[in-house]
Amino acid sequence: MKVAFFGGTGFVGNYIVDELLNASHEPHVLVRPQNVSKLIQSDKCIMYSGDIENDAVIIDMMKNSDAVIYNIGLIRQFPKKGITFEKLHYEGVKRTVKLAETAGVKRYILMSANGVKMNGTPYQTTKYLAEQLLKNSSLDWTIFRPSLIFGDPRSAIEFCTQLKKDMLGLPMPAPLFFNGLIPKNAGSFSFNPVHVTDVAKCFVRVLEKESAIGKTYEVGGDRTVMWKELIKTITSAYGKNKWTIPAPVFPVKILAKLLDRFSWFPISADQLTMLTEGNTCSSDVFEELDVKPIEFNIESLQFLNE
């Protein structure tokens, strides 16, 4: 199957490319000129130079494809640089859905996120609106909503390595965030971390699976891990014993609101909001797609030693 792939040069995208090639599919990948080196198996892909606003290039991709995977996503936006959730999460989906319908490409797989909602952060809302747009299209769609994704970043941005770099590697105790004034439940918000390889396998295995059409899958690992346990597991994986301290999230959010427009500041106020909401889900997708999930533990985090 020839697959028009949007978002193939990032962390999850390169793993999806691997799985597409393993399954003998042909990835047709949209790549911005400055990101060619980020597509790890570029020699085995059909590359199209351009960005998500280039209709002519996308039309060319659709003419040569049997399915679409849309995996473009941002963790933070920088509006003054033209990098926004609206542009990449929603408008990009809107454009590719319309052009897929015009070209007669029926199959469309969307990367969303667990916890998306209409009245959430801009990240959550734009992801939610993209889902609704796809559901109201004429396409044979499948949507994935993963929890926290981890795995060897291979020089890309990944949660655990960024947490190590921006927070856990600093010479100070790790914060156990809590809302309000009393730290009774500090660090108790939870996640279902899921390995990037498992997410990639799910994307590829639904391509030709008719029973997956019209379904939205939550994708999370078997273990529910609280923030304080997540910190302990990550630091243990690279041989550290990190002290922790309760930290009220409100003053950190105030500081983030003042500084998160600068890329050097490690976290945005919206990221803190979503972090302390937690991100858990009950997932049966692995059994349905015959994927044996990789557990979040010290062994699966050995890439942190590199």
DSSP secondary structure letters along 79-145: GGGTB-HIIIIIIHHHHHHHHHHHHT--EEEEE--TT--TTS-HHHHHHHHHHHHHHTSSSEEEEEE
| Res 259: pLDDT | 84
In angstroms, the CA 170 to CA 67 distance is 44
In angstroms, the CA 14 to CA 3 distance is 14
| Res 249: pLDDT | 92
To which H or E segment does residue 51 belong?
A: none
Instruction: Report the b/e string of 265-274 with b at 16+ CB within 10 A.
Output: ebbbbbbbbb
| Res 61: pLDDT | 97
How large a percentage of the chain has pLDDT more than 90?
83
| Res 224: pLDDT | 96
In angstroms, the CA 58 to CA 51 distance is 9
CA 25 to each of CA 127, 139, 207: distance values in angstroms, whole numbers, following the listed order: 27, 20, 10
Residue 284 has pLDDT above 80, yes or no: yes
What is the average per-residue pLDDT within 50-71?
A: 96
Give per-residue pLDDT as tens, 179-206: 888 888 899 999 999 999 999 999 999 9
In angstroms, the CA 86 to CA 123 distance is 8
* Confidence tier at 80 by pLDDT (50, 70, 90): confident
Give me the helices (H) in the chain, please.
11-22, 55-63, 85, 92-103, 122-135, 159-163, 196-205, 227-237, 249-259, 269-277, 285-289
Give the angle subtended at the CA of 102 by the CAs of 97 and 103, to the nearest 5°: 100
* Type of residue numbered 92: G
Give per-residue pLDDT as tens, 110-123: 999 999 999 999 99
Residue 264 has pLDDT above 80, yes or no: no
Give per-residue pLDDT as tens, 202-233: 999 999 999 999 999 999 999 999 999 999 99
* pTM as predicted: 0.95
Instruction: Choose among 4, 191, 39: nearest CA to 113.
Output: 191
Domains with residue ranges and CATH for the chain: 2-150+193-219 (3.40.50.720), 159-191+223-279+292-305 (3.90.25)
How large a percentage of the chain has pLDDT more than 70?
100
